[in-house]
Amino acid sequence: MLTNPVIETLMNRKSIRKYTDQAPVDEVVETVVRAGQQAPFAYQMGSVLLSRKRAKNPFKAPLFFIVCVDAHRHEAIMAQRGWKMVQNDLSVLLLGMQDAAYMAENMVIAAESLGLGSCFLGGIPYRAEAFIKQYHLPPRVFPLVGLTMGYPAEKAAPRPRYPLEVTLGEGAYPEMDEAQVQRAMAEMDEGYLAQNYYRKLKAMIPLEDGREETFTYETYSWTEHISRKTGQWEQSPEALLEQLAKCGFHIPGFEAAK
């Protein structure tokens, strides 16, 4: 693998959930968001909300960003040009989520390069209504992802990843054989166990439906953790569709199907 200061920054990044008291100065905030803006894609449909109210922020982080899909600004500019949005909301979200996500990842990398740590929070869309109130969001703005940021008060090693062989396929999808499944799981599970990751976070997800617990923090690791999330949570799309609707985005057929 090749390396240089940028690759090192990308490879060294890990989620940080403990922060020092040092408040990043305005120039740091502006650099992070400005570098975020320079990310490529379609419509620049990303906007960023910021709270520096540390006591109320997740992990008491000095900075708490919410990166939003912003069709409101887009439509205001279309109106100046004499146009109305006609594109369906699923397509708008498909492209707008990428605008916002590429921006958010640039923010993560810029922060890392300036010595700050960060942590993504993926549950934000399920609480969209609260952010509409808190930040006075107009319709057509969808809070996509949270991002805490500050100077690290914990040390951590980069987290493990799947082997490249099950991630990259040239000419064809990289279908796993049995041995590759085992190697991929071992890479992830042994890597997280070596970091004592879930024990430190006290993050074992309880079993539902009367399933009997057979794991301890000696054995509970990444593949079991993600399986419990997608094997137990959010069976119905209704909560997410309702939050989208509160933001003024309508997925076709939802009302019809209810």
Which of the residues 67 through 86 are near its own copies (CB under 8 A)? Answer: 73-74, 76-78, 80-81, 83-86
Q: Which helix (H) or strand (E) holds 78?
A: helix 71-80
CB of 187 to its own copies, least distance (A): 11
CB of 202 to its own copies, least distance (A): 19
User: Tokens standing for 44?
Assistant: 């620049």
| Site map 26..65 versus its own copies, x via CB under 8 A | -xxxxx-xxx-xxxxxxxx-xxxxxxx-------------
Which of the residues 211 through 250 are near its own copies (CB under 8 A)? Answer: 223-224, 226-237, 240-241
Across 165-175, b (16+ Cβ under 10 Å) vs e yields: ebeeeeeeeee
Residues 6+ apart with CB under 8 A from 10: 109
C-beta closer to its own copies: residue 171 or 202: 171
Q: Which helix (H) or strand (E) holds 67?
A: strand 63-70
| Site map 140..169 versus its own copies, x via CB under 8 A | -x--xx------------x--xx-x-xxxx
Any idea what the Cα angle at residue 12 is, between residues 157 and 6, rounded to 5°? 175
Q: Choose the binding region for its own copies from 54-62, 108-116, 149-157, 197-205 (rule: CB under 8 A).
A: 108-116
Closest-CA residue to 205 (of 187, 185, 234, 232): 232
Rounded-to-integer distance, Cα 37 and Cα 46, Å: 8
Given candidates 17, 19, 62, 104, which one binds its own copies under the rule CB under 8 A? Answer: 104
Q: How many residues bind its own copies (CB under 8 A)?
A: 122
User: Cα-flanking dihedrals φ and ψ of residue 176, to 5°?
Assistant: -85, 140
Beta-bridge partners for 144: none
User: Tokens standing for 217?
Assistant: 């923090």
C-beta closer to its own copies: residue 199 or 251: 251
C-beta closer to its own copies: residue 60 or 121: 121
C-beta closer to its own copies: residue 61 or 141: 141
Which of the residues 9 through 28 are near its own copies (CB under 8 A)? Answer: 9-11, 13-15, 27-28
CB of 116 to its own copies, least distance (A): 11
Q: Do β-strands 63-70 and 117-121 pair in parallel, antiparallel, or remain unpaired?
A: unpaired
